Amino acid sequence: MSDFSRHAPLVTALRRAALEAPALTKPELRQGVAARASGGPVIEAPYDALARQIGEAAHRVTDAQVQAVLTAAGSEKAAFEIIAAAAAGASLLRWDAGTKVLREAIDATT
């Protein structure tokens, strides 16, 4: 078993928890936010701006972007779910890209 493949069950659990599990927000919204954060298609405002920014450069997220999502989501918990979904989407994109490169490198040496 490769060093990165032992983490696959944890990645699957993260994906399910952040994007599919019952929550205040609908899974479709969380999945859309995650996809947008990983370079996917445009989604409804105000989620689009925040998700795109989290995917590109999370340290540049503005208070106004967070406040707009908080207002639209209706609660801090719902806004947190959306922000966590965007972060999960961006991180899973990077995980998938990294493991692909590792697999290709391993295949090239065998």
Ranges of each domain in the chain: 5-109
Residues 6+ positions from 88 with CB-CB distance below 8 Å: 14, 15, 18, 19, 34
Q: 31: helix, coil or strand?
A: helix
Give the model confidence (pLDDT) of 17-74 as tens digits: 999 999 999 999 999 999 999 999 999 999 999 999 999 999 999 999 999 999 999 9
Q: Residue 88's closest CA among 9, 19, 10, 4?
A: 19
pLDDT digits (tens, 9 = 90+) for 39-53: 999 999 999 999 999
For the entire predicted model, the pTM comes to 0.87
User: How far apart are the C-alpha atoms of 47 and 83, rounded to whole Å?
Assistant: 9
CA distance 88 to 34: 6
Please give the structure tokens belonging to residue 87.
Answer: 């972060």
User: Which range, of 1-10, 39-48, 77-86, averages the lowest pLDDT?
Assistant: 1-10
